[in-house]
Amino acid sequence: MFYSHGFIVEGDDPTPISPLFGKYEFPKIKQALADDGYNLIAYHRPKNTEVKAFAKKLVRDVNLLIEKGVKPENITLLGFSRGGVITIRASHYLKSPKVRFGLLAACPRDIKDGAELRLYGRIYSMFETSDSVGSCQFLIVQSPQVTSFNEITISTGQGHGAFFRPIPEWIIPVKAWLNQ
């Protein structure tokens, strides 16, 4: 399972502080997402990472795993915010009906090239009801190659910041989905 963090974490600090949402707990999120049921890979991206290039890096990683014998249905990419946009792009480039993609607060209406993007495979989406980044339904509508779609909401009142910390409201359902 590949986890891609939000934009604020790009750079050297794994626990940057947002004036609006507080501390992003990348190390604690990795710890909470870790599980005996899968291997967790969570790159700490450098500052100003180019979205398309990093998505293509993830695609190369996925293809390498498949070449080494890992079944595509046992591979998951999970991303929050900018990490979610990277995950969307990886789905678009990979075009796999079997790989799973988890999108956490990842579908802003103004996503660059949004009309041209297509999702593939098994999609799981989650967003916080008080966040301006909402449903991924608009991407699903234009993505006929999606083999399954499940979207849930959480309501913490923390907006985008709900995903800055490993709180049970999102960790528990995500881990349940990961272990299906």
pLDDT tens per residue, range 65-107 = 999 999 999 999 999 999 999 999 999 999 999 999 999 999 9
H runs (alpha helix) in the chain: 26-33, 51-67, 82-94, 137-141, 168-178
pLDDT tens per residue, range 148-180 = 999 999 999 999 999 999 999 999 999 999 998
Burial of 115 by CB count in 10 Å (0-12 exposed, 13-18 middle, 19+ buried)?
Answer: exposed
Average pLDDT score, the chain: 96
pTM of the model: 0.96
Question: Which CATH number characterizes residue 53's domain?
Answer: 3.40.50.1820
Checking if the pLDDT of 115 tops 90, the result is no
Tell me how far CA of residue 113 lies from CA of 143, 148, 152, in angstroms: 14, 23, 25
Domain residue limits at 28: 2-178
How many structural domains comprise the chain?
1
